[in-house]
Copies of this chain bind each other. A is one copy, B any other.
């Protein structure tokens, strides 16, 4: 890929990320992104059709880093049998998420939430079903799955937005305690 494209793309990502720290997705204009990134108007639209496209691209980027080496490699893992591995896996992911703290805080505080959570849940749905089979009986499995994913997402949000003082290991244990 052309170096110029990379630089522009990164500049836009950085600008977007920086703005997300200050204001919510819905209140950010393309114009602001352009100004912050210091790129030409037409250049922005050459890269992204809309503000939503940018959001999606950014989510894809982040999740690729967070989940690639984990789930890609370990998708064959069956968490239903080895409970301890599951918590370790969660911890591992939390470490990755922590690296993206700056971006995630903005993305998690809804507005962008719908899109972001969509991606988030997409990945999580590959991890959780085999694990949650062990849990709860009377409630519909799809309900339990939805809640488990929601709780994980909210745990991450709670952690990154308000309680950075906890370690990934602690957060993982809180999460495990809550869903077990």
Given contacts A150-B150, A150-B154, contact A143 B174 (CB under 8 A): yes
Q: B136 contacts A178, CB within 8 Å? A: yes
Complex formed: what's the CA distance from A113 to B111 in Å?
Answer: 7
> In chain A, residues 108-149, which have Cβ atoms closer than 8 Å to a Cβ of chain B?
109-111, 113-114, 117, 136, 138-140, 143-144, 146-147
Tell me how far the C-beta of A103 lies from the nearest C-beta in chain B, rounded to whole angstroms.
17
Chain B residues contacting A24 (CB-CB under 8 Å) are 114
By secondary structure, the A interface counts as helix
Chain B residues contacting A109 (CB-CB under 8 Å) are 114
Complex formed: what's the CA distance from A155 to B154 in Å?
Answer: 14
Given contacts A150-B151, A155-B147, contact A177 B114 (CB under 8 A): no
| 13 further A-B pairs in the complex, CB-CB below 8 A; given A110-B117, A140-B163 | A24-B114, A26-B26, A26-B111, A110-B110, A113-B113, A138-B173, A143-B158, A143-B163, A143-B178, A147-B155, A147-B158, A150-B154, A151-B151
